[in-house]
Amino acid sequence: MLDAAALNNPLREGLSEARTVQSCIMVIFGATGDLTQRKLLPALYSLAADQPPLPASFTVVGVARRPWTNEEFRNVAKEGIQNYARQPYDDALWESFSQGIFYEQVEFDDDAGYRRLGETLDRLDHERGTGGNRVYYLATAPNYYSDIVTRMGAAGMVQRTTSGPSWGRLIVEKPFGHDLSSARQLNADLNQVFKEDQIYRIDHYLGKETVQNILVLRFGNGIFEPIWDRRYIDHVQITVAENIGVEGRGGYYETSGALRDMMQNHLLQLLSLTAMEPPTGFHANEVRDEKVKVLHALVPLREEEVAHCVVRGQYGSGWVGSEQVPGYREEKGVAPNSQTETFVAAKLHIDNWRWAGVPFYLRTGKRLPKRVTEVAIQFKKPPFSLFRNTGADELQPNLLSLRIQPNEGIALKFGVKSPGQAMHVRAVNMDFLYGSSFGGEPPEAYERLLLDCMLGDSTLFTRRDETEAAWTLVDSLEDSWRLAPEETKVQSYDPGTWGPHAADQLIERDGRSWRRL
């Protein structure tokens, strides 16, 4: 087994086991939505149950347009916690936790509503002893972000400090814009009210234990970092696969597609963590500086290269097991001749000393065979085979796989001799699983990220220049698709398969193949 202690070794300030949160109010805009009920409130409840727990005075104020009372909001919160929280429901804990849950009805374009909300927050500060510390969470549709923040600023609700007697912070859910221009405008709007170090752009993938352990695996273990470069690594595969369709979100997906919805954030985040240089320290900006450098070092694809290095797919209708499922164009809100991609695969290169010549193959899609996220590092074969005449010349290359979901863990594949007198070599895995190694499931991603924000640690959040660098790549690909619609049009694939045949050709042209997951 891999050494669990080594993988869990904290490398930076702020990663110690016991981290104490200052009392504060978390204001959730969009409090009646699924994200709040399924993720945010269950995560906060689990944090309240952990050791050390959240302060007893910790307060949640839900804000939305529905005319709910405090009691109605608490009932919805209780249902979400009972169904989705990592920590088991406990009557005594709920009784204490629920005393700090409140609701305020506000129309997002009503200035009077923000003034009323501000008065409520001031009153709760006094009654519950939260000291004026605020975390504002934007869990609304993205088109409300700028307006909400602007009106908050006009109502005098924002402390423009990150520490001191009282502080204010803002968490923004993805997507951060829909292209480079809108991302820059959104960032400018947010920076009118909040300073950059007060803004926490959240990508829940960065809260997953295995994603964080990419850094520990590389920089906390002497056996990996020396071989983490072009001399020993043949290629890298990053897969983010979903087995569901658009699930009634066809109208939204028509304006997004797999490239904007998944590649711009999740896949490029995983790529930058995998490829980054060692930071000079493990403070937030030192880590994020290195991630941004990777994105800037991505080799731009020329227009004539896009058709060969990027594949777009769209799932059709068919059967998945015993269930008949509709094609994407049959989903509600989707145009009958839609060219929106539900699958995208790409081959990218990083133009720096460490990674020159090493391809990074990325793929993501809906209606694929299973829900799985993985980063796979495939090493080069030995320069010559000692076993070419023993029947073992087809030995598979060494592979390090980082499984991010659903079963978080790390596996190293290498060759061993099978028992017996003949020289038979086969591949085996040395496996590390979080559940078995640490005696339970790791915390949910939102738990870690909400806690980090309350502690003022932005390491696992996305900085402004990082979002804009990612959009620069995505915009260039979409521009090429528009300029060459026939060469880059979406290709149909059957539901329950790994995408269109062209995706296999993308990697097989290089003498490689996609991982069988």
Summarize the confidence of residues 378-397 as an average pLDDT: 71
157, 172, 202 - which closes a domain: 202
pLDDT for 397 equals: 87
Domain annotation covers residue 391:
no
Q: Is residue 505 very low, low, confident or very high in pLDDT (cuts 50, 70, 90)? A: very high
The per-residue pLDDT of the chain, averaged, comes to 90
The crossing angle, in degrees rounded to 10, of helices 268-275 and 209-219 is 20
Summarize the confidence of residues 206-215 as an average pLDDT: 82
pLDDT for 380 equals: 93
Q: Which residues form the catalytic set?
A: 266
Summarize the confidence of residues 184-206 as an average pLDDT: 94
Domain annotation covers residue 358:
yes
Q: Give the CATH number of the domain where residue 30 resides.
A: 3.40.50.720
pLDDT for 433 equals: 80
Summarize the confidence of residues 479-502 as an average pLDDT: 92
Summarize the confidence of residues 381-393 as an average pLDDT: 65
* Statement to judge: residues 214 and 305 lie in one domain: yes
Phi-psi category of residue 436: left, alpha or beta, with phi > 0 → left and psi -120 to 50 → alpha:
alpha
The model's pLDDT over 417-453, given as tens digits with 9 standing for 90+, comes to 777 766 667 777 888 887 677 666 678 889 999 999 9
**Neighbour-count burial of 14, counting CB atoms closer than 10 A to its CB (0-12 exposed, 13-18 middle, 19+ buried):** middle
* Statement to judge: residues 173 and 233 lie in one domain: no
Q: Which amino acid is at 409?
A: G
* Statement to judge: residues 250 and 148 lie in one domain: no
Domain annotation covers residue 392:
no
* Statement to judge: residues 197 and 214 lie in one domain: no
Give the count of domains, the chain. Answer: 2
Domain annotation covers residue 420:
no
CA distance 471 to 508: 28
Domain extent at residue 190:
4-202
Q: What is the pairing mode between strands 399-405 and 323-325?
A: unpaired
Strand partners, 430: 412
168, 202, 236 - which closes a domain: 202
Strand order in the sheet with 399-405: 425-433, 409-417, 399-405, 372-379, 233-241, 360-365, 343-348, 310-315, 491-493
CA distance 467 to 178: 11
More confident residue, 66 or 517: 66
The model's pLDDT over 1-55, given as tens digits with 9 standing for 90+, comes to 444 444 444 344 434 445 688 999 999 999 999 999 999 999 999 999 988 889 9
* Statement to judge: residues 126 and 48 lie in one domain: yes
Q: State the DSSP string of 107-135.
A: -TT-HHHHHHHHHHHHHHHHHHT-TT-EE
Query: Peptide bond preceding 175: is omega within 30 degrees of 0, i.e. cis?
Result: yes
* Statement to judge: residues 295 and 338 lie in one domain: yes
Question: Looking at 11-15, 316-320, 380-384, 394-398, which range is the least confident one?
Answer: 11-15
Residue 114 pLDDT > 60, yes or no? yes
202, 217, 247 - which closes a domain: 202
Summarize the confidence of residues 219-231 as an average pLDDT: 91
Summarize the confidence of residues 96-118 as an average pLDDT: 96
**Neighbour-count burial of 406, counting CB atoms closer than 10 A to its CB (0-12 exposed, 13-18 middle, 19+ buried):** exposed
Strand partners, 314: 492
Domain annotation covers residue 419:
no
Q: Is residue 387 very low, low, confident or very high in pLDDT (cuts 50, 70, 90)? A: low
pLDDT for 390 equals: 56
Q: Give the CATH number of the domain where residue 328 resides.
A: 3.30.360.10
Domain annotation covers residue 283:
yes
The model's pLDDT over 151-181, given as tens digits with 9 standing for 90+, comes to 999 999 998 776 677 899 999 998 899 999 9
* Statement to judge: residues 198 and 52 lie in one domain: yes
Domain annotation covers residue 372:
yes
* Statement to judge: residues 15 and 82 lie in one domain: yes
* Statement to judge: residues 162 and 275 lie in one domain: no
* Statement to judge: residues 356 and 456 lie in one domain: yes
Count of other CB atoms within 10 angstroms of residue 80: 19
pLDDT for 312 equals: 96
Summarize the confidence of residues 346-360 as an average pLDDT: 97
Domain annotation covers residue 281:
yes
pLDDT for 389 equals: 61
